[in-house]
Amino acid sequence: MDGPVVRNAVGALDKLLSETRRALWEVEREVYGDPGYGDDQGRYEYPRFAMAAHLEELHDILLIVLEAAQMPEARASLVKAWPGFTSAEDGLRHTVDDDEGQYCHSPALTHVERLIKALRMTVREEILSEEAWTLARLEAMLEDAPGLVHGRGEPLKNEMDLQRVMRDYLSACFPDFRRDPQIGGTIKNFKPDCGIASVGAAIEFKLAHTKEQAIVSFTGVVEDTGGYKGSKDWTRFYALMYQAKPFIRKSQLQSDMKRIRAATWKAILVNGDTKPKSRKRKAGIKK
pLDDT tens-digit readout, 19-31? 888 888 888 888 8
| Other beta carbons within 10 Å of 52 | 22
* In the predicted structure, residue 187 carries a pLDDT above the cut 60: no
- Tell me the pTM: 0.54
Say what the pLDDT of residue 278 is.
Answer: 67
Distance CA 57, CA 187 (A): 36
* In the predicted structure, residue 283 carries a pLDDT above the cut 60: no
* In the predicted structure, residue 38 carries a pLDDT above the cut 80: no
Nearest-CA neighbor of 220 among 232, 234, 204?
204
Distance CA 230, CA 7 (A): 21
Identify the bridge partners of residue 103 per DSSP, sorted by sequence position.
98
In which band, very low, low, confident or very high, does the pLDDT at 286 lie, cut at 50, 70 and 90?
very low
Which of 1-15, 179-193, 232-246 has the highest average model confidence (pLDDT)? 232-246
Nearest-CA neighbor of 109 among 51, 29, 43?
51
Tens of pLDDT, residues 142-177: 999 999 998 888 889 999 999 999 999 999 999 999
Residues 255-268 have a mean pLDDT of: 77
Where is pLDDT greater, at 281 or 218?
218
In which band, very low, low, confident or very high, does the pLDDT at 36 lie, cut at 50, 70 and 90?
very low
Say what the pLDDT of residue 163 is.
Answer: 93
Residues 37-61 have a mean pLDDT of: 78
Residues 22-47 have a mean pLDDT of: 69
Residue 196 phi, psi dihedral angles, 5° rounding: -115, 110
Distance separating the N- and C-terminal Cα atoms of the chain: 89
Strand 201-208 vs strand 236-243: parallel, antiparallel, or unpaired? parallel
Q: Taking a C-beta distance cutoff of 8 angstroms, is the pair 89, 96 a contact?
A: no
Q: Rounded mean pLDDT of the chain?
A: 81
Complete DSSP assignment for 81-134:
HHHHHHTSTTGGG--EEETTTTEEE-HHHHHHHHHHHHHHHHHSPPPPHHHHHH
The dihedral built from the CA positions of residue 26, 31, 37 and 39, taken in this order, carries a sign that is positive
Q: Taking a C-beta distance cutoff of 8 angstroms, is the pair 183, 228 a contact?
A: yes
- Alpha-carbon distance values, 246 to 9, 94, 211, 273 (Å): 45, 36, 9, 11
Distance CA 271, CA 207 (A): 10
Say what the pLDDT of residue 2 is.
Answer: 66
* In the predicted structure, residue 34 carries a pLDDT above the cut 70: no
Strand 201-208 vs strand 265-271: parallel, antiparallel, or unpaired? unpaired
> For residue 38, is it left (φ>0), alpha (ψ between -120 and 50) or beta?
left
DSSP state, residue 6:
H
Distance CA 29, CA 55 (A): 19
Residues 136-145 have a mean pLDDT of: 91
Where is pLDDT greater, at 125 or 121?
121
> For residue 195, is it left (φ>0), alpha (ψ between -120 and 50) or beta?
beta
Say what the pLDDT of residue 265 is.
Answer: 85
Say what the pLDDT of residue 126 is.
Answer: 44
